[in-house]
Structure 1
Amino acid sequence: MRSAPESYELRDNMPEYNTSRPTSHNQYEDDSYAESSTLLDTEASTQELPSHSRSLLRRLGFSFFLFGLINNVLYVIILSAALDLVPPSTPKGIILFCNIFPSLLAKLGWPYILKGRIRYARRLYGCCLLSVTGMIVVALFDTLIMRLLGICLASFSSGLGELTFLQLSTTYHPPSVGGHSVGYFASGTGAAGLFGASVWWLVRGLGVRTGVGLSSVMPLVIPLTFHLLLPSSSAFASVTLSSDEDPEGSQSATPYTALPTDDVSEPVADALMSKVAGGLSPSDKWRLVKPLLPKYMLPLFAVYLLEYTINQGIAPTLLYPVPSPEEYWLLSRIIHSIRDYYPLWQLVYQATVFLSRSSISFGLPPLPARFLPLPAVLQAAVLTVLALESALGIFDGTSQGFSFTLVFFLISIEGICGGLAYVNVFYHINQDRHEAPASDDPERAKQEREFRIGSIGFSDSTGILLASLVSMPTEVELCKAQVARGKMFCKSL
């Protein structure tokens, strides 16, 4: 059993407990850490590490992949089961609202309102309990109010969990190890889309009570992974990576020193913590957030607003005749009715989101920070073309197969842009430590790192929430435009 994170946070921040072990010269507080350096971004650099270090990195990557997968999979299952969870007369948008708004509250409340040291183990126990309770409520009760309450509990847990895992990544040093964590967490969140939709497809025949009830055991994977698989941050004290060196060859002024792992008791830890900063004030938080607004929050908000407007407002209207086997042998095996188009677009979207969110864990270099607005620009172009196609039929002059291919390509671009925006924004905020002013208090510096990455999270949820409101009239107006030009498919769904 690994020690609780309260202990390993202390190990990163209390020099008075240094032992006689040799100090490591990792750049764990290197303000000149290069923006373009990546987390073990080449096969050669990883292969040069000792086998023990490679094993630690694999365990770390797999742990954060599981965190991202399990944390987001219930969100996907609930959306996939929306048709089965509410009566036919109830707008399905209420499911999305209840699946997003509590998550947004968690992402706003915890980093901005609460202060002080994060107790990761307690937080994850709470998330697990909320998720399990929420899914059990959905499974056991047939009334709409109780099911919406269960969805809200699971949503709150998912938002708080995402925030917590991203903050947990900042406790790992050197910076490339923290980036390694973020890359695999993002990959796990992308895989949740495919995994969650597949799980519900397999269990939906069992009914809501059994299918959702079986899904309620999934959150238990998180505390098991946290205690049995996840390496502690101090385990990486001996990992030296060339990518963590100062570009000019200088060493960090504050080298990392390994500290005892188990001999700091909780009462002693609390006494020591009382000597350091009690928490960030509102003015401190505003000072830290202000430079993040245009650089990280706005691009992430814009991408998610555009992305979910496409998914919910435009994609449901991208409908074409059912292909005949004589003309389109392959396409006719995929599309059997008009209702098959929307699930197909969602599958394409989820698959490309997974691939793009996994780009850093696959070893691809991150986007340079100056290019972070680019996915939103491309997303806006995709939205414009797809909206024109839906309303005016700008692809009507082409064959059905060509029209299908163009829409397939554009939705793939949409998914790639959304995934790249997510993983690169959080990767850069994890690495961009030089923007937080240096502090003589290591506990305060740690809290600043945790707050900065946690403060970003509400921007994507706000984009999704706004998109859910924009997409409803968008879908209605696009359907009207199609009917006006004699295309009646949207009325037959």
Structure 2
Amino acid sequence: MERSASINADPPRQPGSHGSCGGWRNWVGFWLLGLCNNFAYVVMLSAAHDILEKQESKNSTTSAPPELVGNVPSGNKSNSSGYDCSPVSTGAVLLADILPTLIIKLFAPFMIHVVPYGFRVLFCVAMAATSFLLVSFSSAVWMSIVGVIFASISAGLGELSFLSLSVFFDRNVLEGWGSGTGAAGVAGSLLYSGLIQAGVSPQITLLIMLVVPLVMFASYFYLLTPVPSLPQWRRSETEHPAEDSPEQERLIKESEDEERETSASGRILFPLNVAEDRSTGPLTLKEKGRVIKGLWPFVLPLGLVYFAEYFINQGLMELLFFHNFFLSHAEQYRWYQTLYQVGVLVSRSSLRCFKFRRVWIFSLLQMMNLVLLLFAVRFQFLPSAWIVFALILYEGLLGGAAYVNTFHFISKETESRYREFAMATASVGDSLGIALAGGAAFPVHDYFCSL
């Protein structure tokens, strides 16, 4: 099932030798992979919420007297709080959507190198399709949660695999990947909401979305130019020394020149003066530890950015409700989410025009956002929803910019031998931040709703 390609000693990237046409194919391929990989993750929260609500409605209909069912407030809102609160039961869906991803990203980089990329993609396609089917046909809460978990597994394994895969291509495919993942948020939320608004049931909507895993399959196997079948740290020098084409030798030389320039500037993540660094066998545990240590200047700021924005999204956004506004609470919340996704899409598509290495600045600005909105929820001093709209758009811009710049500079400043492992390992940063934010949002939400 895995496509074959000639394998180079210690290759940093292999974009193929098809000129500009091949470069555009790869860019579009990674854009589609990013879109499809994050699509189910984006859709699952909304879809699972709708189906859980339907199941709760069935339960209340069968357990409550008919004359009382019509008097149950929509959304099960709390009447004892000054805030228009809803139950936090959907927080379980959020954690189901991120915890499997986090576990995969923590452990998979140490063992996933034995699995060819083609098999990983097939597994991600199967998990995404199964998630849509499970949530669509769920007849119990646990089935919906299992469906969300499958979507999380697909997204987590896909992200670390495709980020690792990008090192075999020209670095501009990261622009395509980042833009595609940003587009997934906008496309997923708008498509799902649009179909539901048009009167299509959640079940049929999810069945329609089964086309997305098929697009992922076609993008990898038929759109991308051939890539090596195993990660670079599994190869030995004896496999291929005489098989390099002139084009491949040129690419390797360009990458080595770039590494020397980066090293001279003092911005190489991992030192080149250790003898074992130039070995061609599998990475040792010591080397992996050094790689992980070198990644902290990027992973920590990325985790803080995502902690702040998901704390806002899951813990505060619902509470930023303006009564004297032409949009209802549900409509305000929907526009918050949409503007956030638009901001992410714009900034994740900006790498060609804007590169910023000091990603910690994004963390600082995002934490300032969190503090401002936390006080805004507590003291309600913001005069209009329009200000919140602007802040939420700004929040999305910061998060997307932090993501694409983090992985761009990790790819650029890491020696080729470590690059694939580094890209896979660094992807844990955003998931860790999201998981911590999900846990922290529960008590904050409960506190405000109890006031």
TM norm structure 2: 0.77
Structure 1 residue 232 and structure 2 residue 223: aligned? no
CA RMSD of aligned residues (A): 3.0
Give 2:287's match in structure 1, choosing from 277, 284, 290.
284
Q: What residue in structure 1 maps to residue 339 of structure 2?
A: 348
In the alignment, the residues of structure 2 paired with residue 167 and residue 375 of structure 1 have an alpha-carbon distance, to the nearest angstrom, of: 24
Q: What residue in structure 2 maps to residue 419 of structure 1?
A: 400
What does 1:183-222 align with in structure 2 at a 5 Å threshold?
A: 183-204=175-196, 205-222=199-216
Q: What residue in structure 2 maps to residue 315 of structure 1?
A: 317
Task: Say how many residue pairs are matched.
Answer: 382
Q: What residue in structure 1 maps to residue 374 of structure 2?
A: 387
Give 2:442's match in structure 1, choosing from 446, 458, 472.
472
Aligned pair in 2 of structure 1 residues 478, 449: CA closer, same or farther (>3 Å)?
Answer: same
Aligned pair in 2 of structure 1 residues 236, 376: CA closer, same or farther (>3 Å)?
Answer: farther
Structure 1 residue 155 and structure 2 residue 121: aligned? no
Checking the alignment, whether the CA contact within 8 Å between 1:322 and 1:338 is kept in structure 2 is no
Structure 2, unaligned runs of 5 or more: 57-75, 77-86, 228-244, 264-278
Give 2:9's match in structure 1, choosing from 5, 8, 13.
13
In the alignment, the residues of structure 1 paired with residue 150 and residue 119 of structure 2 have an alpha-carbon distance, to the nearest angstrom, of: 17
Checking the alignment, whether the CA contact within 8 Å between 2:336 and 2:392 is kept in structure 1 is yes
Structure 1, unaligned runs of 5 or more: 16-27, 30-38, 40-49, 253-274, 324-331, 397-402, 437-444, 482-493
Aligned pair in 2 of structure 1 residues 479, 121: CA closer, same or farther (>3 Å)?
Answer: same
SS at match of 1:99: helix
Checking the alignment, whether the CA contact within 8 Å between 1:163 and 1:457 is kept in structure 2 is yes
Q: What residue in structure 1 maps to residue 19 of structure 2?
A: 53
Aligned pair in 2 of structure 1 residues 276, 297: CA closer, same or farther (>3 Å)?
Answer: closer
In the alignment, the residues of structure 2 paired with residue 71 and residue 248 of structure 1 have an alpha-carbon distance, to the nearest angstrom, of: 30
In the alignment, the residues of structure 1 paired with residue 289 and residue 252 of structure 2 have an alpha-carbon distance, to the nearest angstrom, of: 34
Q: What residue in structure 2 maps to residue 67 of structure 1?
A: 33
Deviation at 1:321, TM superposition (A): 2.2
In the alignment, the residues of structure 1 paired with residue 38 and residue 315 of structure 2 have an alpha-carbon distance, to the nearest angstrom, of: 22
Amino acid at match of 2:213: P
Amino acid at match of 1:346: Q
Q: What residue in structure 2 maps to residue 43 of structure 1?
A: none
Q: What residue in structure 2 maps to residue 165 of structure 1?
A: 162
In the alignment, the residues of structure 1 paired with residue 441 and residue 154 of structure 2 have an alpha-carbon distance, to the nearest angstrom, of: 25
Aligned pair in 2 of structure 1 residues 222, 123: CA closer, same or farther (>3 Å)?
Answer: same
Deviation at 1:169, TM superposition (A): 0.3
Give 2:123's match in structure 1, choosing from 119, 123, 126.
126
Aligned pair in 2 of structure 1 residues 14, 405: CA closer, same or farther (>3 Å)?
Answer: closer
Aligned pair in 2 of structure 1 residues 239, 348: CA closer, same or farther (>3 Å)?
Answer: farther
TM norm structure 1: 0.71
Structure 1 residue 111 and structure 2 residue 109: aligned? yes
Checking the alignment, whether the CA contact within 8 Å between 2:124 and 2:158 is kept in structure 1 is yes
Aligned pair in 2 of structure 1 residues 243, 367: CA closer, same or farther (>3 Å)?
Answer: farther
Deviation at 1:215, TM superposition (A): 1.5
Give 1:77's match in structure 2, choosing from 28, 33, 43.
43
Amino acid at match of 2:285: P
Deviation at 1:117, TM superposition (A): 4.6
In the alignment, the residues of structure 2 paired with residue 102 and residue 347 of structure 1 have an alpha-carbon distance, to the nearest angstrom, of: 25
Percent identity over the alignment is 32
